[in-house]
Amino acid sequence: MKTGIALISSLTLATSILVSGCGSSKTATSESGNTAAKTHTIKIANYFAENHPQNVALREKFKPLVEKNSNGTLKVEIYENSKLGAEKEFYDGVRNGTIEMGIPGMIMQADIPKMAIPELPFLFKDYKHAKTVLSGPLGKELTAEMEAKHGVRVLAWSANGFRMVSSNKSITNLEDFKGFRLRMPNIPNYIALGKSWGANVTPMPISEVFAALEQKVVDGQENPIATLRASGWYEVQKHVLESRHMFSPNVYIVNNKFWQKLTPEQQKAVEEASKAAADYEWELLEKNEATDKKFLEEKGLKFHTPDDNFKKQMQSAAQPIYEEFYKKNPSTKELIEKIKAEAK
């Protein structure tokens, strides 16, 4: 009797091991043949509209490259248009690991002052200047504290573009900003810049901008024209001031604890795909600027290019922002001067 029970127990154990082995479909052998690569789904969040170059690059470059070069062990899900929350919410989600990746702007600058530098007013001359700085050693210096302080790894710099002011009235001089209700992100540099021009600044998330413009809660907003087009704000605006007052970058970030779970091959696939997608997005954004302007003009928007006097007025009004920034962060002055020196 005991022999029979022992035999049954042995068969049960063997069957259990066999079933267990067949059920481990979430592993795959890495290229090295030494490590089993678990399969993962990467949620990547951003606040851009579906047809913005950021999401075009994610769909056409990042997702297919990651899935192909990881041999199917990584799957990518794109959550555009603040579907996983506004910028602060999805950034916090990447920090705490509920979201694997994201493409925020400089939302982290409150804790990491160097990350405020790229959005100082009138810092970058053109796209070439911005990309040279951010994609090189100076860009790495800017992001050096991200992993230690916020638990996220920066994989690539991408671009939002040069910001311009859209409005329901023409703005042709500094006086026109007086009493103007201007939506801006809830970021100190932005708010200080709007106030320096004399505007009444109203901070709000990007997801609320269309309704605020439509209901005339605000008179205008400032963003690159790719965002103006992709978000449909041209339906409730009449004018664009080509101020190009600030360059807005974005960063591809990944939760560091999630990153450490990946095999070296998987990490390589994600990092290379991030850089390829970011490069493609830079290309699309710059190339499409003229196309976007033409589209908006066809929709009835009137563009106003500030003359030299107006430009100098805007720049002079913004200078105290630099002085205040240096007071709070004296060690950044040398880095900012290096960035300015890269303009050619």
Query: Among 93, 141, 92, which Cα is nearest to 115's?
Result: 141
Are residues 307 and 199 part of one domain? yes
Instruction: Give the whole-angstrom CA distance, residue 40 versus residue 43.
Output: 10
Q: Would you say residue 23 has pLDDT above 90?
A: no
- Residue 27 — very low, low, confident or very high, per pLDDT cuts 50/70/90? low
Are residues 171 and 264 part of one domain? no
Residue 323 placed within a domain = yes
Provide the number of structural domains found in the chain: 2
Are residues 60 and 190 part of one domain? no
Q: Would you say residue 26 has pLDDT above 90?
A: no
pLDDT at 213: 98
- The CATH number covering residue 298 comes to 3.40.190.170
Q: Would you say residue 29 has pLDDT above 90?
A: no
Q: Residue range 39-44: average pLDDT?
A: 98
User: What's this model's pTM, rounded to 2 decimal places?
Assistant: 0.86
> Considering the chain, what is the average pLDDT of its residues?
91
Residue 194 placed within a domain = yes
Under DSSP, is residue 255 helix (H, G, I), strand (E, B) or coil? strand
Q: Residue range 260-271: average pLDDT?
A: 98
DSSP character string of 161-198: EE-EEEESS---SGGGGTT-EEEE-S-HHHHHHHHHTT
Mark 148-171 as b/e (b = at least 16 C-beta within 10 Å): eebbbbbbbbbbbbbbbbbbeeeb
Report the Cα 43 to chain-centroid distance in Å. 15
pLDDT at 35: 54
Are residues 179 and 47 part of one domain? no
Residue 148 placed within a domain = yes
User: Could you report the per-residue pLDDT of 60-94, keeping only the tens digit for each?
Assistant: 999 999 999 999 999 999 999 999 999 999 999 99
pLDDT at 184: 97
Are residues 57 and 113 part of one domain? yes
User: Could you report the per-residue pLDDT of 150-165, keeping only the tens digit for each?
Assistant: 999 999 999 999 999 9
Are residues 133 and 214 part of one domain? no
Q: Would you say residue 12 has pLDDT above 60?
A: no
pLDDT at 335: 97
Domain region containing 206: 164-246+292-341
Are residues 156 and 286 part of one domain? yes
pLDDT at 251: 98
Instruction: Give the whole-angstrom CA distance, residue 234 versus residue 255.
Output: 36
Q: Would you say residue 200 has pLDDT above 70?
A: yes
Query: Among 194, 192, 187, which Cα is nearest to 160's?
Result: 187
Residue 132 placed within a domain = yes
Are residues 188 and 306 part of one domain? yes
Are residues 113 and 223 part of one domain? no
Is the model more confident about 103 or about 17?
103
Residue 217 placed within a domain = yes
Are residues 176 and 81 part of one domain? no
Are residues 84 and 205 part of one domain? no
Under DSSP, is residue 303 helix (H, G, I), strand (E, B) or coil? strand
Percent of the chain whose pLDDT exceeds 70: 90
Are residues 253 and 242 part of one domain? no
Residue 107 placed within a domain = yes
Tokens of residue 335, six digits: 């880095």
Residue 28 placed within a domain = no
